[in-house]
Amino acid sequence: MLRLESIRTAVNNVQFNRFRFWLQLFFFVLLVYGGYLGIELGKSLPTFACGYNKEGRGGMCYLMTLQHQMEWPWQKLFSVAGLTVLSTFGIFYLWFIALNKGWCGFVCPVGTIQDWITSLRRMTGIRYSRYSWGQFQWLAQIKYVLLALMFLIPLAIGGGWFQKDLKSPFCMICPGRTIIPLFSADFSQLSIDFSSKTNMIMTGLGLAVTGLFFIGSFVKKRFFCFYCPMGAFHYLLSKIALLRLKKDGSKCTRCGDCFRVCDQEIKVIADDVTQKEIMTDDCIMCLKCVAACPEPGALKATFAGIPIFASTEEGFIKRMNKGCSDGK
Amino acid sequence: MVNETSKVIPIQAVPFARSRQAGEAQTVLDHIVDDFQDNPESMQYFYDLFRRVYCQGEDVPHEGMLVGTTCIQAPEELIYAFGATPMRLCNGSYHYDQKGADFMPSKSCSLVKATLGMLNSELVIPKIGRPDMIVNPTTCDQKKKSSSMMSDMGYKVYDLEFPNVKESEASRVYWQRSVRQFAVQLRELTGNKLTRKNLKEALNKTGRAQAAFRKLHNFRRKSPSLILGKDAFLVTNAYFFDDIGRWTAAVEKLNEELEQRDKSGFKAVQSRAPRVLFTGSPPIFPNIKLPLLIEESGGVVVTDETCSANRMLYDMTAVDEWMVSDMVDSLADKYLKPCTCPIFTKNDDRRRRLLDLVESFNVDGVVYQAFAGCQVYEMEYRSIAEEFNKAGIPMLYVETDYSPDDKGQLSTRIEAFLESMKNRRKRRA
Amino acid sequence: MKNVVVLLLFGLMQMSVQSEVFWLSETPPSKKATALKKEPVASVPQSEHAGHLHAQLAASGVAASGVAATAGGKKHTHGGGAEVDADGEVVADNTHSGKKQLWLRRGDDARAAAYVSGMQGSLILLGQGGMLPEVTLADEKDRTTVKLDLPELGFYNAYWVQRAVHEGMLHVQIAKAEVLHGTCCAKDIDEEAVGKPIVNRAAELELVREHYSGEGLFTRIVSGDTINYTVLSRGEPIAGAKVTMISHKGWRNSQLSDAQGRVSFTLIRDYYPPSWLDFKKRFKQSYLMTAELELPELTVEGATYNAAHYTATLAGNYYPSPYDYRSYAWGLGIALFVIVFGGVSIYLYRRRRIKPYQEVRVDAKA
Amino acid sequence: MKYFAGIDVGSTAIKVAVVDGDGQLVGVHVTPSGSLFHKNSTEALNTLLTKVGLKREQVRYLIATGYGRKLFKEADDSFSEITANAIGAFEAGKAFGGVRTIINIGGQDSKAIQIDNTGNVVNFAMNDKCAAGTGRFLDVAARNLELDLEELGDCHFQATAAPLTINSTCTVFAESEIIGLLAKGHGKAEIIAGIHYSIASRTVRLAKRVGIEDRVYFDGGPALNKGLVAAIQDELGRELVIPEYPQTTTAFGAAILARSEFMDDAEED
């Protein structure tokens, strides 16, 4: 058993931020340049492996497939052909169950870009901004509105009320569409399509959101993830996911360290000492809170019940002293 | 003949070593050192420190300016970062308690009386010299009111505004703003600049000290315990005035010695000794009366939840971005959010903390000390008692002050309390 | 003077002969276009000759034309959105189905060439795997048309040959149509192999469009593209053949094929709607390629002619180029505007917050 | 036959009790403490042993309790008087059907103890620094009224008028108040009754702090004073259980403890 203990303490005392940086970089290369290496993970990935990045993508974001399927004419959608919608959803769900919202925290290329922009800001020494608690609450509803629109508009297209130009509405305003193809030198998305008023408006909105994305994520950590419908969609399905974030209220001194390092500024994680399952809809499972918790065993991430990363004292001391000169 | 009698005999300056304060400290220190056998050798540093400072009146050096603090809520890291030295002014000697009595009403907190007494007398023990500024966080009422008295004595007092509601977002933002204002105030006082480097070094200094304390804290979980509570209180009381680097090194040496004791299966007390959790008003040297009484009559104080030990050193600062703005805000959060001080409106954190300590240190009973006149602790006694009743843990409520005259009576009550715990443990075993 | 007249006559002859160009077009006749009556053309009885031609067809097989990569490999952009023809009607999107329909048209105007009616004869159909059963022309609503049913996915060539003899001079008209039975999401087909152009070794004169590198089963030619053609006669490249491209609006450009028989044209943009609002990004335009070849003495199966004039035609469709309706300037402009505007407003917001407390005003109204 | 002894070195009196092998009381002895604690304690023990005809060696385990317990070196172990009193009252109370609350008025302090059904101390309260409501208060009053302690009880019942209220709680001031009342010509009985009621109200307030449960046991020297017992019963509104030798309950408890400690040590080795 000693082996397991030593492995467990080694994992718990890892320099977590450095580990997460390299993992994110790996997933970024996998999903944005996987295509060139012949990797094809299918069309229902629960993360923003953008479909517009045609050659390079290692797999396609499920939202594009979903919207594409929702646009089918209703006879086809609700006919036998509709079964393919269920099967792609099934594959998406299997992918999702493995990492729960860890997809957002570790895998999503758009998220990784935002973290890079944040570290750029840190180098320049500019302060980050915070939402006040009032703003946080009503801004948190936007992602559900976007999720609803992402379903309704394509269905309306399929039903014939909206014209085809409104196809995959969320993809048009998603910053992934304009930014991820840049990484494989495809600038075609950075243009406004004047061929019809709808296209003009949608691509215009898309580029406005891209601009907003850049300044937003420069001043606010993980700016876009707070409004992302994929995160909302994940949360609705996260009941039986394997990767879990658990909190032991009795160990918690409510010191608020987890809230301090949380990119999404979720107060519940610091203040709630009764709930066992502590993942909220805004959470991106980046596990920075577990890394920043000084109380042993208060916060831990479990995979199918087995604790894989738990907060420990010496881990905390090692991570929080990294900033000091003698680095001990 | 006439001038014989009219010549007033001058009060010769009694050498400090034989003054009443020294006497008081001397008796307590001797009691700590001599009446208990096999104290850890690395405690010798702390015994000598207290003997030199409290009994022989040696002065305590500090580099840069001296900033006195009257409560753990004053952020030390900021003071260290500006090159000044923080020193905690809370005082525990009965001598100053009587001197301070003419400032304060009769039924008021002895700690504040002693602090005011010490600040007002010329011979200040520990001899830290005259603080260039006293930081007085507006925590409990009597400390709040004592700030105007301190400034009347001629000290430069800075009132650090501290919120009394812990949970609300407004109080968090309000406290962050007042800590930033405190940093600006320190800049004006010392004239130095707050840079990322010196703040990081300060954070590291206290970080190492807290890490050392935590190791000691974890060693005290061992049952039968490796070190007596009175030594632990002495160690944390030394943190008030000792140089932080030397203090950390001494505590790390103590931890190593406890490591050997743990390996060699050494027992500081017999295994039947009841394990006591000490909470309530902070025992400050030389007023270690209650813990000493407990350990004299066979108990052992395994852990505590007081602001002269655990609450002062346990919680650590987590910083997300190593920039000055974020470090100062993290500091502010570290002092406000985890604090279990009774001056807040709600004390759920303190209750959960106590229950967690009871469970993780497998404590047999709790001793709850409240200084006579300290309403916050007295009022909180009811909720804590309820919580412990539900959890089935016996608790002894002691209302005392710095005077030694209720020692006899207290020892009887404590002995009876320990005996009832021994019976309870025997029947349960 | 006589030479001039002869020259003029000869030019006219050319002219008239030129106007005699027949070609196969996929665009259905629009309701308004009038049907062009069949003009009696002295022509060698079609069937006899055509039949004769079949025997010669060796196994043509797919000639790997070794097409060099042309401008901007166009992997298909995902279609969607109704395609619109010249008159604004929605054109049925038929690339996906195997059912195709071709019309025979005469005249070298890509848009307004008349639909011939009353023509007989049959079409030779050439697929990836070689010859397919012939399809005969038929009249439908007095327009000569033919319906094809393409079995597998891939490119097919349909040839319509017309031979005529004028005063001992052989006129051969070969109208070719390259038809695609494509799909947008080919599952397990190697799109590269299927996407290669097919060469008909038997045809005396043929224009073969070089496909883009990686052109799969969903080709989309846009104005502004440079398209390369190879002029082949019986599978061999012909140098010096005159090749003319006629665009939708009638702009034409002629070139002679170089030594390898290659000729390259740039499809110019000729779609300028009055206001940007009426711009249809899926406006389907057609273009016409004609190649002519003069051969002096020639004997074909015993019959000798003093001269032979071959005309080969190939039609195709193209769409407005994305650069016509996409504006990068506007796109980047909007993004930049939001960045600058957002950045400045955040900076001002932060400066304003440094003043700790908003000033509270109380006046008579309070 | 093994015997066990418990000695309660109190501030005013030294009480000794001896118990036989199966916990039955053999004999008790009370002598005034005087100043030489040590000498008087050993003397008291010997006089009790000779009285019951036992030799020192037969006493296998001796437990000291009370203020002087640490000074009496001869004892094998020492327990606080609260635990001893609780055990003593618990044992003695069995005869009266079980006891849950104990009121003890000693020479210098007054205690209220609550025990559970196994005799273990659940909660207890003691008077803090002042001697009001203790035996010393009665001694002072008796001296002023030139009465003996034993006569106080009967004198209480001779009162004709309502008992006077002694409003100063402090023993020293009460003395001057009593003299003042005597000068005004009030009867001794009324004064004594007033004193008894003032002690009773203070004691009941103390008992309320630990919570009063059925069968209240009252012991300690003043329990001999019938008048005080009546006053407390009146204030409490409940019957009080008074043992045969109220003064020696703590010593008896210590003896019982000695026996059980001895039995535990026997089991251990």
B197, B204, B316 member nearest A316 (Cβ): B316
Residue to test with chain B: of A255, A268, A274, A317, most B Cβ within 10 A: A255
Query: Is C272 in CB contact (< 8 Å) with chain A?
Result: no
- Given this model, what pLDDT does residue C61 score? 38
Residue D177 has pLDDT above 60, yes or no: yes
In a domain, D180, yes or no: no
Task: State which amino acid sits at residue C98.
Answer: G
Confidence band for C68, pLDDT divided at 50, 70 and 90: very low
> In the predicted model, what is the mean pLDDT of residues C84-107?
70
- Given this model, what pLDDT does residue C257 score? 87
> In the predicted model, what is the mean pLDDT of residues B84-109?
88
Contact C248, C283 (CB under 8 A): no
Confidence band for C89, pLDDT divided at 50, 70 and 90: low
Percent of chain B with pLDDT over 70: 95
Chains D and A touch (3+ CB pairs under 8 A): no
Q: What is the pLDDT of residues C139-148, one digit of tens each?
A: 877 788 888 8
With CA atoms as reference, the chain C residue closest to A167 would be: C80
> DSSP label at C295?
E
C111: three-class secondary structure by DSSP? coil
Confidence band for C19, pLDDT divided at 50, 70 and 90: low
- Given this model, what pLDDT does residue A230 score? 94
> In the predicted model, what is the mean pLDDT of residues B372-393?
92
Question: For chain A, what is the mean pLDDT?
Answer: 90
Percent of chain C with pLDDT over 70: 72
User: Hey, are the CB atoms on A270 and B337 less than 8 Å from each other?
Assistant: yes
Structure tokens at B229: 């509570």
Pick the range with the lowest mean pLDDT from A112-121, C177-186, C245-254, D118-127: C177-186
Q: CB-side exposure of B306: number of CA atoms within 13 Å?
A: 28
- Given this model, what pLDDT does residue C48 score? 37
- Chain C: give the shortest CA distance to residue A14, in Å: 36
Residue B226 has pLDDT above 50, yes or no: yes
In a domain, B168, yes or no: yes
- Chain A: give the shortest CA distance to residue B26, in Å: 38
Confidence band for A108, pLDDT divided at 50, 70 and 90: very high
**Set of chain D residues whose Cβ sits within 8 Å of the Cβ of B423:** 83, 120-121
Neighbour subunits, A (≥3 Cβ pairs < 8 A)? B, C
Contact B392, B366 (CB under 8 A): no
**Set of chain A residues whose Cβ sits within 8 Å of the Cβ of C339:** 211, 214-215
Residue D132 has pLDDT above 80, yes or no: no
User: Hey, are the CB atoms on A317 and B211 less than 8 Å from each other?
Assistant: yes
The parent domain of residue D232 ranges over 3-129+203-268
Query: Is D79 in CB contact (< 8 Å) with chain B?
Result: yes
C325, C336, C346 member nearest A219 (Cβ): C346
- Given this model, what pLDDT does residue A88 score? 93
**Set of chain D residues whose Cβ sits within 8 Å of the Cβ of B416:** 80, 82-83, 121, 124
Listed residue (B214, D147, D57) closest to A314, CA to CA: B214
> In the predicted model, what is the mean pLDDT of residues C108-118?
81
Distances (CA, A) of B267 to B89, B223, C41, D89, D170: 35, 9, 123, 37, 48
Residue to test with chain A: of C184, C185, C271, C332, most A Cβ within 10 A: C332
Confidence band for C62, pLDDT divided at 50, 70 and 90: very low
Query: Is B424 in CB contact (< 8 Å) with chain D?
Result: yes
Confidence band for C15, pLDDT divided at 50, 70 and 90: very low
Question: For chain D, what is the mean pLDDT?
Answer: 84
- Given this model, what pLDDT does residue D170 score? 76
Residue C349 CA, chain-centre distance (Å), reads 58
Q: Which has more confidence, A1 or D52?
A: D52
**Set of chain C residues whose Cβ sits within 8 Å of the Cβ of A210:** 335, 338
In a domain, D252, yes or no: yes
CATH number, domain of D229, equals: 3.30.420.40
> In the predicted model, what is the mean pLDDT of residues D60-88?
85
**Set of chain C residues whose Cβ sits within 8 Å of the Cβ of A202:** none
> In the predicted model, what is the mean pLDDT of residues A93-121?
94
Confidence band for A284, pLDDT divided at 50, 70 and 90: very high
Confidence band for C3, pLDDT divided at 50, 70 and 90: low
Chains C and A touch (3+ CB pairs under 8 A): yes
Query: Is C339 in CB contact (< 8 Å) with chain A?
Result: yes
Number of domains in chain B: 1
> In the predicted model, what is the mean pLDDT of residues C33-44?
44
> In the predicted model, what is the mean pLDDT of residues D45-58?
86
Residue B198 has pLDDT above 80, yes or no: yes
Q: What is the pLDDT of residues C148-196, one digit of tens each?
A: 888 888 888 888 888 888 877 888 888 888 888 877 666 667 777 777 7
Confidence band for B17, pLDDT divided at 50, 70 and 90: low
Structure tokens at A230: 């994929």
Q: What is the pLDDT of residues B277-297, one digit of tens each?
A: 999 999 998 899 999 999 988
In chain A, how many H helices and how many E strands?
17, 4
With CA atoms as reference, the chain B residue closest to A249 would be: B352
Residue D123 has pLDDT above 90, yes or no: no
User: Hey, are the CB atoms on B412 and D82 less than 8 Å from each other?
Assistant: yes
Q: What is the pLDDT of residues B127-173, one digit of tens each?
A: 888 899 999 999 988 999 999 999 999 999 999 999 999 888 889 98
Confidence band for D66, pLDDT divided at 50, 70 and 90: confident
Confidence band for C365, pLDDT divided at 50, 70 and 90: low
**Set of chain A residues whose Cβ sits within 8 Å of the Cβ of C326:** 188, 191-194
Number of domains in chain D: 1
Peptide bond into B286 cis (omega under 30): yes
**Set of chain A residues whose Cβ sits within 8 Å of the Cβ of B359:** 250
B208, B320, B349 member nearest A260 (Cβ): B320
Q: What is the pLDDT of residues A170-207, one digit of tens each?
A: 999 999 999 999 999 988 889 998 888 888 999 999 99
User: Hey, are the CB atoms on B318 and A271 less than 8 Å from each other?
Assistant: no
Query: Is D83 in CB contact (< 8 Å) with chain B?
Result: yes
- Give the H or E element holding residue A124: helix A109-124
Confidence band for C85, pLDDT divided at 50, 70 and 90: low
- Given this model, what pLDDT does residue B239 score? 94
**Set of chain A residues whose Cβ sits within 8 Å of the Cβ of C334:** 192, 204, 207-208, 211
- Chain D: give the shortest CA distance to residue B413, in Å: 8
Q: How many CB pairs under 8 A join A and C?
A: 79
Query: Residue C164 pairs with which residues in a beta bridge?
Result: C171
In a domain, D53, yes or no: yes
Pick the range with the lowest mean pLDDT from C36-50, C242-256, C319-333: C36-50
Residue B125 has pLDDT above 70, yes or no: yes
Residue B170: Cβ within 10 Å count: 11
Query: Is D89 in CB contact (< 8 Å) with chain B?
Result: no
Task: Provide CB contacts within 8 A for B234, sequence distance 6+.
Answer: B32, B43, B46, B47, B50, B285, B288
In chain C, how many H helices and how many E strands?
5, 23
**Set of chain C residues whose Cβ sits within 8 Å of the Cβ of A192:** 326-327, 330-331, 334
D109, D120, D126 member nearest B424 (Cβ): D120
In a domain, D154, yes or no: no
Query: Is B267 in CB contact (< 8 Å) with chain D?
Result: no
Residue A74 has pLDDT above 80, yes or no: yes
With CA atoms as reference, the chain A residue closest to C214 would be: A55
- Given this model, what pLDDT does residue C41 score? 43
D107: burial class by Cβ within 10 Å (0-12, 13-18, 19+)?
buried
ipTM, 2 decimals? 0.75
Q: How many CB pairs under 8 A join A and B?
A: 95
Chains D and C touch (3+ CB pairs under 8 A): no
In a domain, D73, yes or no: yes
Query: Is C280 in CB contact (< 8 Å) with chain A?
Result: yes
C326, C336, C343 member nearest A192 (Cβ): C326
User: Hey, are the CB atoms on C332 and A204 less than 8 Å from each other?
Assistant: no
Query: Is A36 in CB contact (< 8 Å) with chain C?
Result: no
- Give the H or E element holding residue C124: strand C122-127
C249: burial class by Cβ within 10 Å (0-12, 13-18, 19+)?
middle
- Given this model, what pLDDT does residue D266 score? 76
Pick the range with the lowest mean pLDDT from A11-15, D2-6, D73-77: D73-77
Residue B303 has pLDDT above 90, yes or no: yes
- Given this model, what pLDDT does residue C11 score? 46
With CA atoms as reference, the chain A residue closest to C349 would be: A129
**Set of chain C residues whose Cβ sits within 8 Å of the Cβ of A207:** 331-332, 334-335, 338
Residue C284 has pLDDT above 90, yes or no: no
Question: For chain C, what is the mean pLDDT?
Answer: 74
Which 299-328 residues of chain C touch chain A by CB within 8 A? Answer: 322, 325-328
- Chain B: give the shortest CA distance to residue D96, in Å: 24
The parent domain of residue B182 ranges over 21-428
Residue C307 CA, chain-centre distance (Å), reads 30
Q: What is the pLDDT of residues B247-270, one digit of tens each?
A: 999 999 999 999 999 999 888 788
> In the predicted model, what is the mean pLDDT of residues D108-121?
85
Domains (range + CATH), chain A: 17-234 (no CATH), 242-320 (3.30.70)
- Given this model, what pLDDT does residue A328 score? 34
Pick the range with the lowest mean pLDDT from B367-376, C47-56, D206-215, D247-256: C47-56
Confidence band for C47, pLDDT divided at 50, 70 and 90: very low
Which 161-190 residues of chain D touch chain B by CB within 8 A? Answer: none
Residue B6 has pLDDT above 90, yes or no: no
